[in-house]
Structure 1
Amino acid sequence: MTTILHIDSSARQGTSRESRSGSHSRRLSSRFIQQWRLARPDDDVVYRDVGANPPRPVSGEWIHAAFTKPEQREPWMQAVLSESDALVKELLAADLIVAGVPMYNFNVPAQFKAYIDNIVRVGQTFGFDRNREGEPYWPMLSGQNKRLVILTSRGDYGYDPGERIHHMNHVERSIKTAFAYIGITEVHSVAVEYDEFADTRLQASIETAEAAVDTLVMQLAALGPAPSRVARVA
């Protein structure tokens, strides 16, 4: 069995399939999970909506507690870290992380940045030893075969490598950097563009992205090349 951690971070509720004001990233992540369940119904899916319920931002107390050795933590420190502990536990248990992350002003939503800040934890997901020769920091999740899928949406177009405004895209880049830091380096991504244009180009982009999601599910679930093995979602 595979354990999937499904994360949504859009401030929009609902999907753009359900409503014109719905989220494209939620649409893609929902489709991914629907297709995966069709292919592998016995796998476990854990859902975390940080768009609707953002993790608390890192505070001075959080930092103090996180960098205190576990056996030396006072009760208030354990309370401060309790939410982060739960998020880390979910991540550690997951084989596949499916993250719906829209672009807000060229980067990830604040809600998802708060999530990253809570799961990049010394002694939990990365190690640190100032006396260690060479690199004092190291990823603790390396070699666990964890995979990350980023499903995003963008108001403009041309953010992919080699395109007109790729240099302004800090979504996939920042997520990949943070997750590689803790040892998750196999990353796949699919994007919807043209959201702010709201015309036929947006519809074409959605259709292309949904087809890419279907193909990605088929690849990651090891279903083989036959498209008929993955049902289309109406």
Structure 2
Amino acid sequence: MTDRKDEIAGNLARVEERIAAACAAAGRSRDEVTLIVVTKTYPAADVRVLAELGVRHVAENRDQEAAPKAAECSDLPLTWHFVGQLQTNKVRSVVGYADVVQSVDRPRLVVALSKEAVRAGREVGCLIQVALDAGESGRGERGGVAPEGIGELADLVARSEGLRLDGLMTVAPLTGQYAGRQRAAFDRLMDLSTDLRRDHPAATMVSAGMSADLEHAVAAGATHVRVGTAVLGVRPRLG
């Protein structure tokens, strides 16, 4: 465990250096950017190590893995983010541990989240997941709503009991006009955030950037970056 803690600590320090350098280059204060460590496929023991090292935000994308892990780590001072595509039949479980759902992309999901948040007596933060590669279907390959659908969905979240509209999230597209153009994609997300905040001033969170492209996200103005492999190493393969 000591070796693993040393490994994670070293990786975390390097990621912190990258974030600090990106903030300095962008003329931003380091405290403007929150690191979320994506712990999917990694054991609860790693989550405990992260908490010992001062990490306060972790993210998961599959409920069947996240629910038992969150329960095992319920004594830790962590904010749990759900970042995967979320089916409505998993909402009750996810609301049990997730403080923020970053992948809100359709009205039916908003209704389900509101119902379960009220039932559980919790307030759940919501980010609208934006699909910058949305085609004629209005959705992206990795989920998300097309930019023109943000306003209507945001209004629904804002008026739904038990939910709090926190802002926007995106994943850099693999196809379409932004493929390979992460900075342009994140700049577009920031423009959409500016539009959103005209009607919802408190929705200031912008979640963008991962291990490979966090610098582009920080340069564009992201408030949160989601980093997994750069902190925890190459993911174990799921059997």
Pairwise same-fold verdict (TM > 0.5)? no
TM-score, normalised to structure 1, is 0.35
**Structure with more relative contact order (C-alpha pairs < 8 Å, separation 6 or more):** 1
Larger radius of gyration: 1
Report the structure, 1 or 2, having the larger helix content: 2
TM-score, normalised to structure 2, is 0.34
